[in-house]
């Protein structure tokens, strides 16, 4: 599932390429035909990102909400666009820019009230200028679930996925299995800054490059060439700080990667 950096990057691209243009909209797949008819002929006024959610506002007060989910994909074309795939849920076409959206978890039109209610359920997003670290700290500390589990709860902090939680916890030197309620202000400040920095750099550059990460294994065809991680997906390899082999655990059906020495975790050898 794309993490917050990808969604914010998409919002920036859409603001640059798509805002101010009138679009013809259709749903080649047929599952969003009614919504596409309401969008067709309208100009895109603004684009906003909050966590893993995209919000497009069109003239006339029509609001489009997109959540890519696990398999969603957005493609952009500045020149002549190819025919859409059979899975294309929404096509926004203009003479100068075209968007193809396929496989989203959510592609829906929302009323202002429904959008406000959805946003009210989302946690603080480190990339939003009005984000409140103090509210994020209090939300993250609710309950005794492991810190690594709490970080993936989008109602506490928005936009964090499996990669970002592993890298941010490592940068902040925090034990991933420590109860979230035991998080202290100093540790949270390190964590918030790590999240904000990783998200901003990745939203700008289109890739996650963790500080001090070892050289990327270019020989692996399944790894994006640009991404470089310190702990994520590096089980058994050396920690870039101390040389200890990186550990991997299954936690709440997700793989968790961490250094057992730098991030001393009670009960884990």
Instruction: Give the catalytic positions in this structure.
Output: 2-3, 52, 254
Q: For residue 132, what are the contacts with CB-CB under 8 A and spacing of at least 6?
A: 124
CA pair distance 257, 234, nearest whole angstrom: 7
Task: Note whether 147 and 176 are within 8 A (CB).
Answer: yes
Radius of gyration of the chain (CA): 20
- What the block records as the tokens of 231 is 């702990």
Distances (CA, A) of 121 to 124, 145, 253: 10, 19, 23
Hey, what are 3's tokens? 């993490």
Residue indicated by tokens 């666009």: 81
Q: Which residues in 16-79 belong to E strands, given as ranges?
A: 24-26, 44-50, 53-58, 62-67, 73-77
SS3 43: strand
Take residue 111 and report the two structure tokens written for it: 């009323």
């Amino acid at each position: 599932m794309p993490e917050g950096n990808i969604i914010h990057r998409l919002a920036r691209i859409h603001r640059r390429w798509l805002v101010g243009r009138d679009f013809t909209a259709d749903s080649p797949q047929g599952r969003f035909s009614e919504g596409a008819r309401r969008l067709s002929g309208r100009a895109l006024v603004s684009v906003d990102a909050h966590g893993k959610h995209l919000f497009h506002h069109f003239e006339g007060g029509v609001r489009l909400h997109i959540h890519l989910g696990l398999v969603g994909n957005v493609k952009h074309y500045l020149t002549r666009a190819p025919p859409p795939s059979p899975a294309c849920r929404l096509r926004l076409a203009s003479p100068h820019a075209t968007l193809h959206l396929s496989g989203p978890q959510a592609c829906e039109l929302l009323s202002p009230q429904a959008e406000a209610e959805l946003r009210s359920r989302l946690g603080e997003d480190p990339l939003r200028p009005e984000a409140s670290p103090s509210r994020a700290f209090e939300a993250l500390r609710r309950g005794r679930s492991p810190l690594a589990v709490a970080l993936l709860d989008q109602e506490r902090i928005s936009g964090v996925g499996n990669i970002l939680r592993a890298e941010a916890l490592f940068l902040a030197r925090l034990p991933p299995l420590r109860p979230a309620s035991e998080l202290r202000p100093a540790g949270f400040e390190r964590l918030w800054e790590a999240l904000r920095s990783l998200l901003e750099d990745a939203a700008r550059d289109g890739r996650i490059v963790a500080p001090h990460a070892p050289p990327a294994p270019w020989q692996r065809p399944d790894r994006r060439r640009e991404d470089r991680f310190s702990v994520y997906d590096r089980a058994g390899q050396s920690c870039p700080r101390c040389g200890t082999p990186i550990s991997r655990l299954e936690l709440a059906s997700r793989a968790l990667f961490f250094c057992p020495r730098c991030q001393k975790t009670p009960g884990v050898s």
